[in-house]
Chains A and B, each alone.
Chain A
Amino acid sequence: MHWQRVWAIVRKDLIAVRRSRPVLVPLVILPMIFFIALPVAFGIMGRFLVETRDTEIEPLLRRLPASERAQLERLEPGQQLAVMLISYQFAPLMLLVPLAVATAIAADSLAGERERQTLEALLVTPIRDEELFLGKVLTATLPAVTIGWFGTLIGVFVAMAVTSVGPPLLPSVPWLILALLGVPGVAFLGLGTVVLLSARVRGLQEVMQLSGLLAMPLIGILVAQASGLFLIDWRLALLGSVVIWVAAFGVLHAGRGLFHREKLLRLG
């Protein structure tokens, strides 16, 4: 493995992303919404909606494990609502950020490379298929995981500041599991999906739109939790993360199989 070649791909693609407004803007706005605006909104909501306990919180509290419920019951009703929303109900939504970052960068780096007719210039260099693949993987996943983890950290501090609640309720255990395992998992899943889509769909926009469908399961979880079907606990968070990793491994493995010069050239 020639790391100089791998990092050259990463450097090239990240410089290009940095200078591409259509790719960069969502990468800045999404983390601000999910890691700053949402915790602030929920914290403020908790402070002002203090009369919600019986009608809104009670059914949710009943779904929590006994130890967590006991801790939560010691809080003010407004704090309870904020913690329930941040640490449990909307926790899976934080995965949208690394997913969106990884798919946006991967789409630009793979389908975009083809659309701009810059792929062949890479294929005629000595770079090996596996080096090019790794370069593309790192290009998409490094920023996605960095933004995901760094954003999570900021989100934790923001949430703690607005709710005046700390560990172990904020961040909760399922929240931490999703942050540590889920964030890199969805980044790889998003990338792998884009690799597969790029092999079948020609346009950058099409790849972006189709990869957006990956967000649907996360929205589904949010709706299911809001309708009282279940509430994410550490077991579900762990299981969900494992499922994400298995899916990510599957699509990446399939994507690697498509990542050969001749196949890439045929698509180009």
Chain B
Amino acid sequence: MGIHAPLIVIDQLERRFGETVALAGISFHVAAGEIVGLLGHNGAGKTTTIRLLLGLLTPHNGTVRVFGLDPLVDGERIRQRTGVVSESPGLDERLTARELLHVFADLYDVPRAIQRQRIAALLEQFGLIEVADRRVATYSAGMRQRLALARCLLHDPELLLLDEPTAALDPVAAHYARELIAERRREGRTILLATHNLEEAERLCDRIVILERGRVLVEGHPQDLAAALGVPARLAIEVEPNFLDIALDVLARRSLTVWAEPEPGRIIIDRMTRRQVPEVIAALVAAGIPVYSVTLRTPSLEDVYLALHQRTERR
């Protein structure tokens, strides 16, 4: 499914809690069919943003529109079309998964006639059908998060707001949860994913919005962000170990930032551009150095994030 008109529009949004500024005038949008990562440390404003989108909080300034609606006026209609998963799954442990899903199906106005079938399908899809009649108290953290994901899909929502959905999970459960999110994306749902897991954001998201202390630091695709911010790539070269010193000398003469890795014959060149790669390799080959492998490592979201963080710290 292609990307369409904005489904979420946030403009100069502000929110304070007493003296604490949670959001200091953030603006961004999420197009229909897009998956956008909202990144930031704890307290950056991610959860506050999601709560404002749902009409759970009142903004102190700025505007929010979801499906073109104002959450303060049409919160009920927005919540009818939105599925939400919070960091804490918020499941009453005394109920069974099936009971819980039936309760929430009623809360989301799912017609009674289709509830049984839809709930069974979701339990099956999320691998919970075998334990559907066991109390949630007996579930592992991963099973709970899967149940929370199943619950947020009960009413077949167009928009998913996922707030740290994998934060409390072990690596295996987190991997499984990411697969489930990726599937929802393939179904064409719009997703706003609040996370501080950079790998997760990089893997799943079309665009990233990085928040810090209630402000949008930067917005865009991870690779575009790296380029825009001038976060450099690294070139890893593996040469014949006996030629390492010669190779380092050749590269140093070209004024490149070079160092040798602990592994024999492995060289790292920092701050490389793509265009520089052929001439660097040509220089090594011309000096008679056997080159076994060359890898241009483009900056990861983590590199971008660290660079941004260092900049804001310097300020």
| A12, CB-defined interface residue at 8 Å | yes
Q: Which residues of B contact A2 (CB under 8 A)?
A: 109
Smallest Cβ-Cβ distance to B95: which chain A residue: A15
As a 0/1 sequence over residues 3 to 39 of chain B, the CB contacts with chain A under 8 angstroms (1 = contact) are: 0000000000000000000000000000000000000
Q: Is the interface of A mostly helix, strand, loop or mixed?
A: helix
Q: Which of B92, B95, B100, B107 contacts A127, CB < 8 Å?
A: B107
CA distance A16 to B135 in the complex (A): 11
| B57, CB-defined interface residue at 8 Å | yes
CA distance A12 to B90 in the complex (A): 13
A13 to chain B, nearest CB (A): 9
Given known contacts A15-B95, A124-B56, A126-B76, is B107 in contact with A8 (CB within 8 Å)?
A: yes
- CB–CB A262/B56 < 8 A: yes
Given known contacts A125-B79, A126-B76, A126-B108, is B91 in contact with A20 (CB within 8 Å)?
A: no
Chain B interface residue count: which class?
20 to 34
As a 0/1 sequence over residues 47 to 65 of chain A, the CB contacts with chain B under 8 angstroms (1 = contact) are: 0000000000000000000
| A265, CB-defined interface residue at 8 Å | yes
CA distance A125 to B83 in the complex (A): 8
| B94, CB-defined interface residue at 8 Å | yes
- Ranked 5 nearest A-B pairs via Cβ: A121-B90, A8-B106, A124-B84, A125-B107, A16-B94
| A7, CB-defined interface residue at 8 Å | yes
Q: Which of A115-150 contact B (CB under 8 A)?
A: 116-128
Chain A interface residue count: which class?
20 to 34
Q: Which residues of B contact A15 (CB under 8 A)?
A: 94-95, 99
Q: Which of A16, A126, A262 contacts B109, CB < 8 Å?
A: A126
Q: Which of A20, A120, A125 contacts B86, CB < 8 Å?
A: A120
Q: Which of A5, A12, A124 has most B Cβ within 10 Å?
A: A124
| B266, CB-defined interface residue at 8 Å | no
| B80, CB-defined interface residue at 8 Å | yes
- CB–CB B76/A121 < 8 A: no
Smallest Cβ-Cβ distance to A113: which chain B residue: B92
Contact sample, A vs B, 15 pairs, CB 8 Å cutoff = A5-B106, A8-B104, A8-B106, A15-B94, A15-B95, A121-B89, A121-B91, A121-B104, A122-B107, A123-B56, A124-B79, A125-B79, A126-B77, A126-B80, A265-B56
CA distance A80 to B93 in the complex (A): 52
CA distance A117 to B93 in the complex (A): 11
Q: Which of A7, A16, A125, A126 has most B Cβ within 10 Å?
A: A125
| A4, CB-defined interface residue at 8 Å | yes
Q: Which of A1-58 contact B (CB under 8 A)?
A: 2, 4-5, 7-9, 11-12, 15-16, 19-20
CA distance A71 to B296 in the complex (A): 104
Q: Which of A152-171 contact B (CB under 8 A)?
A: none
CA distance A255 to B54 in the complex (A): 23
Q: Which of A16, A119, A265 contacts B51, CB < 8 Å?
A: A265
Q: Which of B78-137 contact A (CB under 8 A)?
A: 79-80, 82, 84, 86, 88-95, 99-100, 103-104, 106-109, 112, 135
